[in-house]
Amino acid sequence: MSCFRLCLFGDSFANGTGDDTMMGWAGRVCASARRRGHDVTLYNLGIRRDTSSDVFARWQEEATRRLPPQHEGRLIFAFGANDCVIENGGPRVPLSRSLENAHAILTTARQSHPVLMLGPVPVSDPVADIGIEALTLELAKLCASLAIPFLPLRPVIRACPSWIAEVEAGDGAHPNAGGYAAIAEAVESWEAWRAWVP
């Protein structure tokens, strides 16, 4: 069975904001892995409103503190939605900069640890969601070029009634337990995750 420490870097959707169970999708998939006998230690390092620029600025120092060389360490990155939020007439982080940040993060990360990446989730603002669609496509290409498994979440979530209903009933951005369970289900059935925790 697998034994590793896992750092998850991302935004509020990585953090699990809005989930009354406080598990988010990451807590769910790691709990499932532990029930199957895997010794997984999860460090959820999702921060609300974080963009790819924010993750780029902090991930290495935070990972180094949690993944000492004597222990098996792995990394998951899940960001991008906040990059596409419209502020002051444009996205918080332009697409070209988002890709530069992702390229820098992933090329460095894969040199020291196994890496997975999840794409950004859709948002209710149609302009921002167009940006998320474009970013998802470009991140998929980038990850393919780096041989890093990529899971596009936007199509999964757009087809999830519980996510949509919970967002509308909540703060307008974040789901509750049902929405995060939908992400967890997608991750659980993802071949790349299953390769880590069969």
Give the span between the Cα atoms of 29 and 10, in whole angstroms.
Answer: 16
What kind of architecture, by CATH, is found in domain 3-196?
3-Layer(aba) Sandwich (3.40)
Over residues 73-100, the pLDDT tens digits come to 999 999 999 999 999 999 999 999 999 9
Question: In the prediction, which pLDDT does 174 show?
Answer: 96
| pLDDT tens-digit readout, 160-196 | 999 999 999 999 999 999 999 999 999 999 999 999 9
Q: What is the pTM of this model?
A: 0.97
- The domain locations on the chain are 3-196
Report the alpha-carbon distance of residue 32 to residue 191 in Å, rounded: 15
Q: Rounded mean pLDDT of 43-55? A: 99
Where residue 71 falls among pLDDT bands split at 50, 70, 90?
Answer: very high
The answer for residues whose C-beta is within 8 angstroms of residue 35's C-beta and 6 or more apart is none
State mean pLDDT over 118-145.
Answer: 97
Q: Which of 78, 163, 91, 169 is nearest to 125 (CA)?
A: 91
pLDDT at position 39 is: 98
Q: How far apart are CA 22 and CA 151, in angstroms?
A: 23
Question: Per-residue confidence at 45, pLDDT binned at 50, 70, 90?
Answer: very high
User: What is the distance of C-alpha 143 from the center of its chain?
Assistant: 14
pLDDT tens for 112-128 read 999 999 999 999 899 99
Q: Give the pLDDT band (50/70/90) at residue 62.
A: very high
